[in-house]
Structures are given as structure tokens and as C-alpha cells.
Amino acid sequence: MSEADPKTPAPGAPGSVDFGYRQVPAAEKAVRVREVFDSVADKYDLMNDLMSAGVHRLWKRFMLSQTGLRPGQSALDVAGGTGDISAGMAAQVGEDGLVVLSDINAAMLGVGRDRLLDRGLMRNVRFALANAECLPFADESFDCVTIAFGLRNVTDKAAALASMRRVLKPGGRLLVLEFSKPTLPGLKKIYDVYSFSVLPWLGRRVAGDSDSYQYLAESIRRFPDQQALLAMMREAGLEDCRHHDLSGGIVALHRGFRY
């Protein structure tokens, strides 16, 4: 057994958080996550298609079907990355509505802005470099807030959920699309083999970065399961919270309202 790095906190040490299967000082996680996404930003959409065989588009389509948005309303896409969800919501709110695409990572936000510009979706979309834990928007600003595959990378998830609830209008909803825990018998073993063998291999061959995809696989395993996330949403003050499993629980969409 190799000797522990003296700079690495022990599991459960005060002020430490998970970064995949490692423990790091809480103040360092955001920097490490930024490095991951700086590395993969240019290949992010391609890798999503390869890793999920395109199924991530169906997961996002289902999320968009649950926004409840109408023309003229406003929406916030937190950790919106390359802009898939923002583009869908921009179509839902129309030219009289507003969508804000936010991300803490400048490289990902830049890719998202370029993608939406290429699609001609700039008239009702704005962009914000923002931390999910302390969103720079006024209370009760948005009819819908979404975060797709971003919450597991946040250092303080409870703070992010509370921040997203704060900016919701009364009657507004929060949608969290995230990898979760497989519920179909036998699926977990297959999924583990795929995650820890195929994903890093794809990362190395396509994005030139196996370590980042190793982290992403580990971060999925560290993320709260369906029931634990429901409890966290209720703790943040959201109501009528429920979830819907997709692809046998590999992914789940969680929904909660601010009343």
C-alpha cells in the first residue's frame, strides 16, 4: 500500500469534501472541477453522444417536457454548459420571454454561447458566469430553474439547492437532471464495468483526457441516491418534491416547487 499524501485530508476530515473517490479541502474542489471542464469543454457534446449512445438527448427532452414554461416567462439554466437545455427553454418562452444560461466555468460558458449563436438563439438568451451556490440574481426572478448533470460537481449542494429555490418565483419549479442509482436488477454491475473501463478509455481516445472521465465516473457514485436528493430538496424549502427514474435509474429527474 502506498503512503498517503500528507496534503490529502482523511475521509470525513473537517473541511474536506469528495472529489470523486478522493477527499480534498473544500476550498479546492471548485478549482479542480474547473480544471476538469477546461480540459473537456471542446469535446463535451461529442463525448456525451458517445458515452450515452445519444440517449442523453432523450433524457434532456424529457426534462424540457417538465418545465411548465409558457411564452413570455423566464428561466435559468444553472451549470448549463453547452446550452442544450437553454436552447429548448428559449423555444418554450418565445421572443417575449427570457432564458439565462449560467455556468461557473468560463470555457463551458463560451462553448454554450457559441453553440446558441450558431443556432440563432440570442434574442431571448443571456449569459452569466455564476456559482450555483450563490446565484447573482434577485429573489423570485424565474418561473423555472434547471440544472442538468451539474449538481454533483458543486461543492456545497445544500447551498446550491437553497440558492436555486431563492431565485424561483412563487409557483416556480426546480428541475434537477442527474445520474443516480440503478434500480433494475443486475444493471449496477454492468453499469460499473462500463463506467470504470469504457468511459476513461473513451476520454483518453477522444478527448485526450482519461483522468477527467475517471473523476466523472467516480463523482456519479458519490452523488446522493434518489431518496437522499429528495430529502435535500425538501430541506432547502422546496415542496411537492418527486422524482422520475430514466433508463432504469441510471439517471433521475427530480422536481420541486416554491410555493
Query: Which of 70-79, 141-150, 166-175, 216-225 has the weakest average pLDDT?
Result: 216-225
CA distance 149 to 145: 14
Q: Are the C-beta atoms of 86 and 80 separated by less than 8 Å?
A: yes
Structural domain contains residue 3 = no
- 111 close to 82: Cβ distance less than 8 angstroms: yes
Nearest to 154 by CA among 47, 69, 241, 232: 232
Look at the alpha carbons of 185, 188, 189, 195 in this order and tell me if their dihedral is positive or negative. Answer: positive
The answer on pLDDT for 110 being more than 50 is yes
Evaluate whether 17 touches 29 at the Cβ level (below 8 Å): yes
119 in any annotated domain: yes
State which residues form the domain around 91: 54-182+225-257
Helix (H) or strand (E) holding 212: helix 210-222
Q: Which of 70, 174, 92 is nearest to 132 (CA)?
A: 174
The answer as to whether 217 is a domain residue is no
Q: What is the pLDDT of residues 230-258, one digit of tens each?
A: 999 999 999 999 999 999 999 999 999 99
251, part of any domain? yes
Please report which confidence band the pLDDT of residue 55 belongs to, taking 50, 70 and 90 as the band edges: very high
On whether residue 65 sits in a domain, the answer given is yes
pLDDT number for residue 14: 53
The DSSP annotation for 138-189 comes to: -TT-EEEEEEES-GGG-S-HHHHHHHHHHTEEEEEEEEEEEE----STTHHH
The string of DSSP letters for 93-109 reads H-TTSEEEEEES-HHHH
Cα 229 to Cα 177: distance, rounded to the nearest angstrom: 11
Say if 107 falls within a structural domain.
yes
Mean pLDDT of 7-26: 71
DSSP 209: -
Percent of the chain topping pLDDT 70: 95
**Residue 28 within any structural domain of the chain:** no
pLDDT of residue 248: 95
Count structural domains, the chain: 1
DSSP E strands, the chain: 16-19, 22-25, 74-78, 98-103, 125-129, 142-148, 168-179, 239-246, 251-257
pLDDT exceeds cutoff 60 at 2: no
- Evaluate whether residue 99 is within a structural domain: yes
133, three cell numbers: 451556490
CATH code of the domain in which 240 resides: 3.40.50.150
